[in-house]
Amino acid sequence: MELRTLRYFVAVAEELHFGRAARRLHMSQPPLSRAIKQLEAEAGAPLFVRSPAGVTLTAVGTVLLDEARALLEHADRLRERVNAAAGAAALTIGILGDSTDPGVARLAAAYRRDHPGIDIRIRETDLTDPTCGLRAGLVDVALTRAPFDVTALTVRTLRTDPVGVVLRADDPLARRDALRLAELSDRRWFQFPPGTDPLWQAYWNGGRPREGPVVRAVQECLQAVLWNGTVGLTPLGHDLPDQLAVVPLTDMPPSRVVAVWNESDTNPLIRSFTETAATAYRH
């Protein structure tokens, strides 16, 4: 049994609902359901009784929950003790979407220079999880964009970027110097899967429900525009293929680049990382 799968199981067991557990883990529900079914196959017995209202633990599931919690706590303590014994210090950083932002490159260079003994691990995530695996315990700190649910999280703004709409270059609106959201009301927008953080979804949909293809990654967004004429929002200043154009939106609030971490996390490496990040993103 993998530790990651046990973390998924604990989330479902505590929420007693696959949808809520998926939102808590910032993942879509189908892979979570598949992971739990695989775990049940390994256990040789059902772990949950499923119903339209949610789930309840079976007797086997109740036993596994106690053991899984203990095992995960032991694994966390073991990792800390091994790192301490080896004199190793590590920081796992989640990065949203892609790492082409020049601020990331400046941050990497500055952090390597100032902290040469730190083992940096990068986890690049798609657009369905704005916290980059932070709530699931997969990263220590995330470089991402707001807004999203910040319950039990600490957020530091690193930069604000104006936002525009990405269009095909041959779209008549692509010739405009600026647009308003109302001028896009009849267009199909790319959107994120069900279960994605609602604050995040609402921002990138311009504050209202939209219809259009579901996407999970930056390249999927661009391909939706190229192939389907879909529109969507993007921060200004990113390089795009010649077949695409970005027109600034005059009534869209800017996108905030942020560093975010669990408010209960006292790892001193996070503080030094966010201080370096704040400097790197100001330039």
Please name the fold of domain 3-84. Answer: Arc Repressor Mutant, subunit A (1.10.10)
**Residue 254: predicted pLDDT:** 96
Residue 193 CB contacts under 8 Å (≥ 6 apart), including other chains:
28, 128, 214, 216
Q: Same CATH topology for 3-84 and 88-160+256-282?
A: no
**Dist. CA 156–CA 259, nearest whole Å:** 5
Residue 133 CB contacts under 8 Å (≥ 6 apart), including other chains:
26, 94, 123, 125, 139, 142
**Residue 269: predicted pLDDT:** 84
- Per-residue pLDDT tens digits for 122-162: 998 889 899 999 988 899 999 999 999 999 999 999 999 99
Domain boundaries, the chain: 3-84, 88-160+256-282, 163-253
Place of tokens 């706590």: 73
**Residue 98: predicted pLDDT:** 63
**Residue 119: predicted pLDDT:** 85
Higher pLDDT, 258 or 240: 258
Query: If you average pLDDT over residues 66-73, what whole number do you get?
Result: 88
- Per-residue pLDDT tens digits for 245-258: 999 999 999 999 99
Contact (CB, 8 A) for 9 and 68: yes
Please name the fold of domain 88-160+256-282. Answer: D-Maltodextrin-Binding Protein; domain 2 (3.40.190)
Q: Which two tokens stand for residue 280?
A: 């790197």
**Dist. CA 27–CA 142, nearest whole Å:** 16
CATH code for the structural domain at 163-253: 3.40.190.10
Contact (CB, 8 A) for 260 and 144: yes
Q: How confident is the model at residue 99 (pLDDT cuts 50, 70, 90)?
A: low
Place of tokens 């041959």: 170
**Residue 87: predicted pLDDT:** 53
**Residue 80: predicted pLDDT:** 55
Q: What is the chain's mean pLDDT, rounded?
A: 89
